[in-house]
Structures are given as structure tokens and as C-alpha cells.
């Protein structure tokens, strides 16, 4: 029952803190929806999870069905009504199991463990999510090591060829080549999961993570010769690994990779690098500054951000890529990384705060929310939900405006029967100055990557409210 009505909540101009909070809310609720209720992959029976530390009341309140052990590559985002609730159409899926999307899925769950642990002695049901997500992550990682490796022991994409009659799990390789960046994702997942474990799994998960790190060190020459894209992603994942582990052994490798990246970037014409790579390079430099406290990385980040900011067009209130075409395509990743880079730069440069805040607010509103690249947005918590209160303290003065969770201009999943996910791209007509949606499809590789990046950066680098 609602105990506090609170003051009249008036719609105000969108703030930077509200943008952070909205993105976190979107990612948190969408991940829970995908992993716990979509059935867009191979599921695990609840009885196979060790939930003895969760009360039966809390398990019933969580209303779990069949959590995912692994997620498939693609599904339809259209929802259907079943038993008076909206659910995913589990029949329209592409049964390819990609390493990147599954590693990101587990990392998302592990980031949410940190969030739900804050509810200890505040809300038992929400705190129960932390136990559930640890157990589920552990089972997912057991599954990956058993079914998603090749003969050499590295993780590769596979196709699910499970026998529909016997139910026996069968997979065949989809791509024979492996990517260093994807191995690094799983190195991070096994390590972070080990930090929550107290049983015999703790050391085995940590040791497995160390085995992957040692592979990077042993084969660093091969890593240095990979593509700019792969090095950029691997560098980011190693930065994240260091933030998890504080392990000094990773620093020399991390510094070498970034030096190679920045040398490549500096030696070529600026326009040859797309916004995604530029933003990833920027985020790598900011994390390196935080991880090493070496001032040159702060200066590199500042110089890179000047290049990023050049894309923004104040008269259009969006960023524009160089193109002679009448229409240009914007990916969800470009838009999210651009916004995250702007949010991060606010930490480093007080002189640009007013200009930068206006730019971030405009891009978030026009290019992300109003463009149609997100199909729906999870509704705000109800007024009697503890998440609706600042600091999770249920007092009238702590009641958060709905604008901390979503804008009124975007539909909820219940209203338009579409999942709260990113589609791959939107098209922008330069003469008409309008956006048009691309194909409405759920690509787990794109979505889970973005949800993880959002959860990680806001979990580790800012207060949400």
C-alpha cells in the first residue's frame, strides 16, 4: 500500500541525471525481460538452480518461468498475449549461439548482482534477484565451457542442432575462427562471477579466467596484428578486467594495445574512422586514465572528444556523419556510444559542462528516444515500489519524478506490444529532417552489448540518481 503520496510532480526540463537513470532503467528491465521471460534460447529448469537461500514467497513473487542458459542470435521483438500477460514469440528465432551475445548476457547479470545487493535489509524480493542472478550466471558459464568451445579450447559461435525428439543437446561450429575480443569477454565473466562464489567453484572460475589472460600474454603478437576493431574491443575488455581484478599483470598488455590503437588512429586521416571506433577509443583512454592515473591518457581523451564533438550540429540538435547521400544510417551503437562519451566527458572538463549537457539532452531526446531506434521503454516503477525513491528510502521528499525512468513520448511494451529493445538502425532524411525505422528485429549481439556497456559505466562511474 502506498504510504506517501508525495508532492505534485511537475514535468521539468530533462536533466543529465535523469538521462543516466533512464538508460540504466531501460537496460536493467530489458535484461530481466530477455533473460528471465523471453525463452529466446535454451532454458534451464528452476529446480536445477540452487535457490535454497531464497524464500518460497520471494520465488513466487519473482514469477520466474524458464531463465536462459544461452541466448540465440535473433528473434522477433513483437509480443503476444498469453495467459493475460505479454510474452515473446519463442518460435520465431534464429538458433545460432553467438559468443559475444552470450558473454554480454552473463556480464549484464553480474552487473545487476551489484545493483540488487543494495536491497539487503530493504526489500527481500529485490535482494533475492542477486542470489538468483549469481546462480544463473554460474550455470550459464558452465554451459559455455561445456558446449561452446572448439577442439583447441577457445570459444566459437555455434549452431543449435539439438534433437527435437530426444532433447539431447547438439551443436556444430558456425564460425571456425575465434576472436580475441570475445575470449576477453568470457575472461571477464568468469573472473567477476568468481568474486561472488564461496564454494569450490570460486578458485576454478578464477583460474579459468587466468588461463585466458595467459593466452593473451602468450599470443600477444597475434593479437597486435588483428584489426583495429578487434584491438579496440579487446582493449576495452581488458580495461574492464583490470577494473574488476586490479591485477597488475594485465597492465603492460593493455598499454601496448592502446599505444598501437592510438598510433593507427593518429597516422590515418580522421574521416576514415567511424563514430563507433572513435567513441570506443575515447572510452578506452578515459578508462586507462582511471586505471593507471597516467595524465597523458586524460589529454588523449580530451583531444579525442574534440573530434567527437565536431559531429554535433546545433541547428539540427543531433550529430551528423559526413555523407553525400540524401539519407544516412545511424546504428544504435553509434548513438549510445556518442551519448556515453558525452556523459563521461562531463567528469573531466568543467569548462564545457553547459554546452555539453545541452548536446547530450538533445541527442538523447531526438536521436535515441524520438527516432524510433528503441521500440518501447519499460514503465516507471509504481509509487509503492522502493526503486521509485532516491536512496531507496521511502519518504515523500525522496519520491522520484517519472522522468527519472522514462519519457512520456515513448510507448511501454504493454501499449504497443513490442519488446524494449534496440533495432539495428534508423535512417535520417537530411532534406526532410526526419528519422525512419529500419527492420524491426531483435539482434542479441547488438542489444546485449549496449545493455552491458550502459550497466557497466553507470554501475562503476556515476551515481544514478
The CA angle 341-450-220, to the nearest 5 degrees, is: 80
Residues in CB range of 455: below 8 A, 6 or more apart: 24, 27, 28, 31, 108, 111, 112, 115
CA distances 231 to 181, 217, 253, 293, Å, are: 7, 14, 11, 22
Which pLDDT score is estimated for 273?
60
- The average pLDDT across 355-378 equals 95
Instruction: Give the model's pLDDT for residue 325.
Output: 87
Is residue 194 within 8 Å of 201, Cβ to Cβ?
A: yes
Higher pLDDT, residue 301 or 4: 301
Mean pLDDT of 85-103: 89
| 93 pLDDT more than 90 | no
pLDDT for the residue numbered 438 = 93
At residue 125 the predicted structure's pLDDT band, cuts being 50, 70 and 90, is very high
Say how far apart CA 229 and CA 232 lie, in whole Å: 5
pLDDT for the residue numbered 139: 97
| Tens-digit pLDDT profile for residues 384-412 | 999 999 999 999 999 999 999 999 999 99
Q: What is the predicted pLDDT for the residue at 90?
A: 76
All three cell numbers of 355, joined, read 554546452
| pLDDT at res. 462 | 56
pLDDT at 6 over 60: no
Q: What is the mean pLDDT of the chain?
A: 91
CA 245 – CA 293 distance, rounded (Å)? 16
- Asked if residue 9 has pLDDT above 70, the reply is no
The three three-digit cell numbers of residue 139, written as one number: 550455470
Q: Give the pLDDT score at 3.
A: 41
Query: CB count, 10 Å around CB of 84?
Result: 5
* CA 453 distance to own-chain centroid: 4
Confidence of residue 302 (pLDDT cuts 50, 70, 90): very high
| CA 208 – CA 188 distance, rounded (Å) | 10
Tell me what pLDDT residue 176 has. 81
pLDDT, residue 11, reads: 47
Among 9-13, 126-130, 233-237, 399-403, the minimum mean pLDDT is found in 9-13
pLDDT at residue 227 is higher than 80: yes
Q: Tell me the mean pLDDT in the region 186-204.
A: 94
Confidence label for 12 from pLDDT (cuts 50, 70 and 90): low
* pLDDT surpassing 70 at residue 63: yes
151-172 pLDDT, tens digit each: 999 999 999 999 877 888 999 9
State the pLDDT at residue 4: 41
Confidence band of 99 (pLDDT split at 50, 70, 90): very high
Q: Specify the range with the lowest mean pLDDT, choosing from 349-353, 384-388, 431-435.
A: 349-353
pLDDT score recorded for residue 135: 95
Per residue in 250-297, pLDDT (tens digit) is: 999 999 999 999 999 988 744 456 899 999 999 999 999 999 999 999
| Domain coordinates in residue numbering, the chain | 210-310
CA gap 181, 129 in Å, rounded? 29
Per-residue pLDDT, 62: 82
Model confidence at 5: pLDDT above 70? no
Q: Return the DSSP state at 75.
A: E
Confidence at residue 267, expressed as pLDDT on a 0 to 100 scale: 85
Return the SS3 of 98. coil
What is the pairing mode between strands 74-75 and 442-443? antiparallel
Ranges 3-12, 16-25, 314-323, most confident: 16-25
Amino acid at each position: 500500500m502506498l504510504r506517501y503520496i508525495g508532492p505534485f510532480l511537475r514535468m521539468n526540463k530533462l536533466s543529465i541525471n535523469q538521462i543516466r537513470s533512464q538508460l540504466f532503467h531501460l537496460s536493467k528491465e530489458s535484461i530481466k525481460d530477455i533473460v528471465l521471460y523471453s525463452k529466446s534460447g535454451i532454458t534451464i529448469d528452476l529446480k536445477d538452480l540452487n535457490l535454497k537461500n531464497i524464500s518460497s514467497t520471494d520465488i513466487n513473487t519473482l514469477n520466474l518461468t524458464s531463465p536462459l542458459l544461452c541466448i540465440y542470435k535473433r528473434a522477433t521483438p513483437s509480443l503476444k498475449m498469453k495467459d493475460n500477460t505479454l510474452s515473446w514469440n519463442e518460435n520465431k528465432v534464429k538458433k545460432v549461439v553467438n559468443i559475444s551475445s552470450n558473454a554480454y548476457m552473463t556480464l549484464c547479470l553480474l552487473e545487476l548482482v551489484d545493483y540488487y545487493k543494495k536491497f539487503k535489509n530493504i526489500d527481500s524480493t529485490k535482494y533475492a534477484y542477486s542470489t538468483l542472478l549469481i546462480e544463473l550466471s554460474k550455470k550459464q558459464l558452465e554451459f559455455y565451457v561445456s558446449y561452446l568451445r572448439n577442439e583447441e579450447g577457445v570459444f566459437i559461435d555455434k549452431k543449435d542442432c539439438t534433437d527435437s525428439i530426444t532433447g539431447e543437446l547438439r551443436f556444430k561450429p558456425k564460425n571456425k575462427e575465434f576472436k580475441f575480443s570475445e575470449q576477453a569477454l568470457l575472461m571477464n565473466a568468469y573472473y567477476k562471477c568468481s568474486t561472488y562464489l564461496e564454494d569450490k567453484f570460486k578458485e576454478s572460475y578464477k583460474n579459468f579466467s587466468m588461463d585466458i589472460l595467459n593466452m593473451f600474454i602468450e599470443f600477444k603478437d597475434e593479437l597486435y596484428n588483428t584489426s583495429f576493431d578487434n584491438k579496440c574491443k579487446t582493449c576495452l575488455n581488458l580495461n574492464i578486467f583490470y577494473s574488476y581484478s586490479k591485477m597488475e599483470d594485465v597492465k603492460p598488455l593493455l598499454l601496448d594495445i592502446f599505444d598501437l590503437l592510438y598510433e593507427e588512429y593518429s597516422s590515418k586521416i580522421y574521416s576514415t574512422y567511424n563514430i563507433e571506433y572513435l567513441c570506443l577509443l575515447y572510452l578506452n583512454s578515459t578508462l586507462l586514465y582511471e586505471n593507471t592515473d597516467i595524465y597523458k591518457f586524460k589529454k588523449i581523451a580530451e583531444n579525442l572528444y574534440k573530434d567527437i564533438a565536431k559531429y554535433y550540429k546545433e541547428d539540427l540538435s543531433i550529430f551528423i556523419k559526413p555523407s553525400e547521400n540524401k539519407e544516412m544510417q545511424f546504428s544504435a551503437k553509434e548513438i549510445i556510444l556518442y551519448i556515453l562519451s558525452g556523459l563521461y566527458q562531463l567528469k573531466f572538463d568543467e569548462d564545457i559542462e553547459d554546452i555539453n549537457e545541452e548536446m547530450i539532452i538533445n541527442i538523447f531526446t531526438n536521436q535515441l528516444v524520438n527516432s524510433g531506434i528503441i521500440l518501447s521503454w519499460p514503465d516507471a516503477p509504481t509509487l509503492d515500489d522502493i526503486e521509485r525513491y532516491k536512496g531507496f528510502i521511502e519518504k515523500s521528499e525522496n519520491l522520484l519524478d517519472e522522468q527519472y525512468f522514462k519519457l512520456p513520448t515513448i510507448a511501454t511494451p504493454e501499449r504497443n506490444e513490442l519488446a524494449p529493445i534496440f533495432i539495428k538502425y534508423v535512417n535520417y532524411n537530411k532534406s526532410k529532417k526526419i528519422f525512419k525505422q529500419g527492420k524491426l528485429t531483435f539482434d542479441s549481439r547488438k542489444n546485449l552489448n549496449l545493455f552491458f556497456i550502459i550497466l557497466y559505466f553507470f554501475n562503476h562511474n556515476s551515481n544514478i540518481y
